[in-house]
Amino acid sequence: MCYDVYIACNEEDEKIRLWMTTNLLPNLEVKNMLKVFWPCRDSEIGVPREEEMIHVMSHTQTFIIILSEEYKGPVRWNEKEWKHAWHNYTHDLNREIIIVNYDLLEANEIAKQYLGAFLRIGQFIDFSNHKKSIEDEIASLLTKQDKKLKKYGRKNFSHSQIDDEKFPFLKQYPLYSEFRCKT
């Protein structure tokens, strides 16, 4: 099965689960008619988690990564999801990564969690931005990506240049360097 969106987050965080089930998922699935895969809800019982994650991510257009301060749960899985999202993204630039800074983490805190490279190339949404609803902003980014794919065709689409001044501290991370060599 193909999905429009794969959501990676701390599944043990009750606040995130509540926001996901009451706001984000209804907005994406009902209001915007997107097929969303959220592992804690959609994983098949009895299937090895990493095997399923690799399969689903390889058939997903957009990855949403929700950053939060505390990882009480399986941090290992979060890192594996980020790694596979990055791998899929760098091998197919038609895909998109959207970062949601749920707990308003500072840039240096994010870099410590090896997500700095994602910030350079993906869309970034800050929870402190109250201009419009976070859910609508995410849906807007997904819709914009879909229009780009239709306009340019999947094979001809590539990302624009990365602004090195926005997050200069990220240059030291291997994922960022690897991406820069490929552009």
pLDDT, average across residues 42-62? 91
pLDDT exceeds cutoff 80 at 73: no
Other CB atoms closer than 10 Å to residue 103's CB: what's the count? 16
Q: For the chain, what are the domain ranges?
A: 3-182
pLDDT recorded at residue 152? 43
**What single-letter DSSP state applies at residue 73?**
S
pLDDT recorded at residue 174? 46
pLDDT tens, position by position, 30-39: 999 999 999 9
pLDDT exceeds cutoff 80 at 16: yes
Average pLDDT score, the chain: 71
Provide the angle, in degrees to the nearest 10, between the axes of the packed helices 174-182 and 75-91. 10
pLDDT, average across residues 108-117? 51
CB 177 within 8 A of CB 120: no
Task: Tell me the H-state helices in the chain.
Answer: 14-19, 25, 39-42, 49-58, 75-91, 107-112, 116-121, 134-152, 174-182
Least confident stretch, 26-35, 48-57, 100-109: 100-109
Least confident stretch, 11-25, 27-41, 122-136: 122-136
Other CB atoms closer than 10 Å to residue 102's CB: what's the count? 21
Split at pLDDT 50, 70, 90, the class of 96 is confident
Superfamily (CATH H level) for 3-182: Toll/interleukin-1 receptor homology (TIR) domain (3.40.50.10140)
**What single-letter DSSP state applies at residue 2?**
-
pTM for the structure as a whole: 0.65
CB 12 within 8 A of CB 73: yes
